[in-house]
Amino acid sequence: METENTPVNDTELETVQGHTEQEEKAFINSLDDDFDPTMATTDTKQADIELEAAAGMIFVGLMTIEQMMKGMVHTRFNFDPEQSEKVAYKVAPLIVKYGGNPPPWVLRYIHEI
């Protein structure tokens, strides 16, 4: 099936699109006013700080568990420090997202855990 290409003039194009080129430029310029690059950088820095703080909390928690296990199981019990750090950074986004509370889907099974 072949389609017929008919020339379109500017007035027909404006009625099809529903706006003029000037309105389009004004809209694009208004979008630039909304974006503040310093705010984007600040938000990124804040997120990084939150992740670092959460990872630190988790690492301290792992050290506490390690000390408890040394007292209860054996004095030579220890976690690999590199592995503990990896776990802390992997779990940190969950702490930031859920604030230390279990995710909603876990709440149904919390009494079994």
- What digits encode the pLDDT tens for the residues 6-28? 655 655 555 556 778 888 888 77
Reported residue count of the chain is: 113
Instruction: Categorize the per-residue pLDDT at 53 as very low, low, confident or very high, splitting at 50, 70 and 90.
Output: very high
- What digits encode the pLDDT tens for the residues 71-87? 999 999 999 999 999 99
Question: Is residue 88 pLDDT above 90, yes or no?
Answer: yes
pLDDT (0 to 100) of residue 22: 86
For 45-110, give the DSSP string: HHHHHHHHHHHHHHHHHHHHHHHHHHHHT-TT----HHHHHHHHHHHHHHHHHHTTSPPHHHHTTT
